[in-house]
Amino acid sequence: MLNAPFRDGFPMTEVLLTGAAGFLGQHVARELLAAGARVRALSRREETDRVLAALGATPVRGDVNDPESLRRAMAGVSCVFHTAADTNTWRPNNDAQTRTNVGGAQNLVAAAREAGVSGFVHTSSVSAYSHLVHGMLREDVPQRGGDSWINYERTKFLAEKTVRESGLPFIISQPAHILGPGDTRNWSRLIRLVDQGKLPGVPPGVGAFADVREIAKAQVRAWQLQRYGESYLMGGEQATFLDLITRVGVMLGKKTPRRATPAFALRAYAQVLYGVSLLTRRMPEITPEGAVFTCKELWVDSSKAIAELGYRQTPLDSLLADTIAWMREQKMIG
């Protein structure tokens, strides 16, 4: 294990990063490279090789579901940053999700122990606490993801449990709703629907919107400070989904719904779509699991990450403006 905190970079330090081509992973790669680390990025195919090389990382062929490839990728690595995850919310894909989220964490932990790495930085989620927990989330609130019927919550809980019980020096981050430049599939989908005038309705829940750039900075900072054995909730400005969508509409100059869809109606609609999806074998636009997430009121206390890591909660208007500007540059919206 390292004897003193790295405050001015990581000279000659080799890091293995999973999920490096993903939304959060690309930002983590940039922060690690800026700090002086050499980033070895796990890649499953040639298309992601090009993305990773453009970032400045070194692509290495591997898959979290392939233990032998992880052993090869782990050789000479000092620390693992694990950001890869399957965020599926459609039940027919649950087995694959469990293999990736839980089995993948188990495989990585085993390879990391064998390689003798000095740190393991794991990206978990507020979902490890589960929708079953109400009120403000803090790090000392008991997690209930293991009791959840939602596979994503259950697998994030079990993956985090695997890391905690691994015997490795670990740091766990638990982001809330991640927003920011680089998003091609998450909240950007909602922004595109508003831009196209195709938003079918607004869910009635409350979100905590975290800046992807600040999450990446905080993860790297936690490693610099060697905050092993700690976990950090990373939230952001709280807003109802109606407020969020109204702000997006104003920025895009588009009309948006004035009222949220009642929770019971959204859940019923999701159940109908789920039934149809079993016949068509195509994932619906909203699943019963997705309805639960968007009807929930999520409240996150980020004070520990703010105090110990300098984590910053970007004001939502600024975060949306940066995201929309990036999407315009990428021609994702008009």
C-alpha distances in angstroms, 161 versus 63, 179, 238? 21, 26, 28
pLDDT of amino acid 334: 85
Q: What pLDDT, in 10s, does the model give residues 237-276?
A: 999 999 999 999 999 999 999 999 999 999 999 999 999 9
Distance CA 306, CA 141 (A): 18
Angle at which helix 241-252 crosses helix 316-329, to 10 degrees, equals 50
Q: What pLDDT, in 10s, does the model give residues 47-98?
A: 999 999 999 999 999 999 999 999 999 999 999 999 999 999 999 999 999 9
DSSP classification of residue 102: I
H/E run at residue 117: none
Place of tokens 């081509």: 21
Distance CA 198, CA 195 (A): 8
pTM for the structure as a whole: 0.95
pLDDT of amino acid 7: 46
Is the pLDDT confidence value at 9 over 80?
A: no
pLDDT of amino acid 200: 83
**In sequence order, what DSSP letters do the residues of 130-194 get, joined into one string?**
-TT--SEE-TTSPP-GGG-SSHHHHHHHHHHHHHHTSSS-EEEEEE-EEESTT-SSSHHHHHHHH
Sheet holding 237-240, edge to edge: 177-179, 206-211, 237-240
Q: What pLDDT, in 10s, does the model give residues 289-333?
A: 999 999 999 999 999 999 999 999 999 999 999 999 999 999 999
Q: Domains in the chain, ordered, with CATH?
A: 14-182+211-236+300-314 (3.40.50.720)
C-alpha distances in angstroms, 219 versus 74, 104, 111, 214, 321? 20, 20, 21, 9, 24
Tokens coding 222: 């936690």
C-alpha distances in angstroms, 40 versus 6, 19, 191? 19, 11, 33
270, 277 in Cβ contact below 8 A?
A: no
206-211 and 237-240 strand pairing = antiparallel
